[in-house]
Structure 1
Amino acid sequence: MMDILENARLLQLPDWWVCAGFVRSKIWDTLHGFEERTPLPDIDVIYYDGSNLHEEVEKHWEAKLRNLNPHVPWSVKNEARMHTINNLAPYTSSVDAISKFPETATALGLSLDEYGKVILTAPHGIADVINVVLRATPHFNNNPNLLPIYEKRMAQKNWQATWKQLQVSAT
């Protein structure tokens, strides 16, 4: 995990985080006693740069990360433009975007400070991820238009097949 964080830091992106399943799955794997990490479909690196909203820039950063570490399925997104995907109000920062992820247990991010120490952001706390509970974030729970997205995601991901202790909460 430190190699991935170091790779991301080398890009020197503004307000960057490695987030979502990268953090959540490691915690759940550990709590389930898995000796090997559950494979991830991608490693989410996010940043916030309101001065350049072109998707091509994100692809440029992904290519740089692939050159650094070609065995990682990198996904880079500028959260200054990602609100448009679900037709939401603009995010104010990467942490604001993380707070609006679908699930509280996924709304987590890691970064490195200037001294190389790990920083955790957890806008909804860590209780749900530690207790292996999956529930919608307040942003999704309070928006009737977004709840179907959350429900469809839960069915598609089928995380309970991998992490047997997982409890899915309706709210």
Structure 2
Amino acid sequence: MHDRDLDQRLIAILKQAPLRMHVFEIVRSLALPDWAVGAGFIRAAVWDALSGYTIASPVDDIDVLYFDPGNRDPRHDETIEQRLRDRDPALPWSVRNQARMHIRNGDDPYASTADALRFWLETPTCVAARLDTGGGLEILAPYGLQDLFSMSIRPTSRGHARRAEYIARITEKRWHERWPNVTIELP
């Protein structure tokens, strides 16, 4: 299957998930620069669909990403989180400006939100999406979508370099308990 086919498959899954579309609409309304919603919010929707689950997995947090090198103050993220809570207080919002996250992670500066995704630890988490003004979804996936759709957890180059963190995340998240068909590759 070509990446374009997987993109379309992911878009179809997200568009059939009312909560996901609700979140995309709320975040789009803030007009953040280079924004996307990613990580487990996307991964869980796909793995639930692939597993045939009719009840969506609980959402631990909603990772809202944006890229604004002109305002790297972490308090700005808190302000955005409050704006999101004002629109839907029941949702667990988590906002991070990717223009400053390289500092916390000890990386060279990221060039964009999509570039920041390359530095996450496992490939099926390095996926995000955003809703354009016409209602279409744009997918950001620097490692492609094959691992996401094959339910394979593999380390990125950063996951290899930070092996202990990668293993700790897998242990903590316990994805294999919720989705027994998941396969895990250790670095």
Secondary structure in 1 aligned to 2:164? helix
Q: Which has the larger displacement, 147-156 or 20-29?
A: 147-156
Identity, in percent, stands at 36
Assess if the C-alpha contact under 8 Å between 2:167 and 2:186 holds in 1. Answer: no
TM-score normalised by length of structure 2 = 0.87
Of 166, 169, 172 in structure 2, the residue corresponding to residue 153 of structure 1 is: 169
Q: Runs of at least 4 residues of structure 1 off by over 3 A?
A: none
Unaligned runs of 5+ in 2: 1-19
Assess if the C-alpha contact under 8 Å between 2:114 and 2:140 holds in 1. Answer: yes
Q: Which residue of 2 aligns with 1:163?
A: 179
Secondary structure in 2 aligned to 1:105? helix
Cα distance per residue 1:98-144 (max 9 Å; x no partner): 12111100000010123121111111011111001001112332x2x
Distance 1:56 1:170 in 2: 36
1:36 and 2:52 aligned: no
Distance 2:171 2:158 in 1: 19
1:107 and 2:123 aligned: no
Give the root-mean-square deviation of aligned CA atoms.
Answer: 1.0
Distance 1:147 1:93 in 2: 25
Q: Which residue of 1 aligns with 2:10?
A: none
From the two aligned structures, give the one with the greater helix fraction.
2
1:135 and 2:154 aligned: yes
TM-score normalised by length of structure 1 = 0.95
Unaligned runs of 5+ in 1: none
Give, as a single letter, the amino acid of the residue that structure 2 aligns with 1:125.
Answer: G
Kindly state the Cα deviation for residue 68 of structure 1 after the two structures are TM-superposed: 0.5
Q: How does 1:1-171 map to 2 (within 5 A)?
A: 1-141=20-160, 143=161, 146-171=162-187
Cα distance per residue 1:71-94 (max 9 Å; x no partner): 110001000011122211111110
Secondary structure in 2 aligned to 1:40? coil
Distance 1:6 1:55 in 2: 24
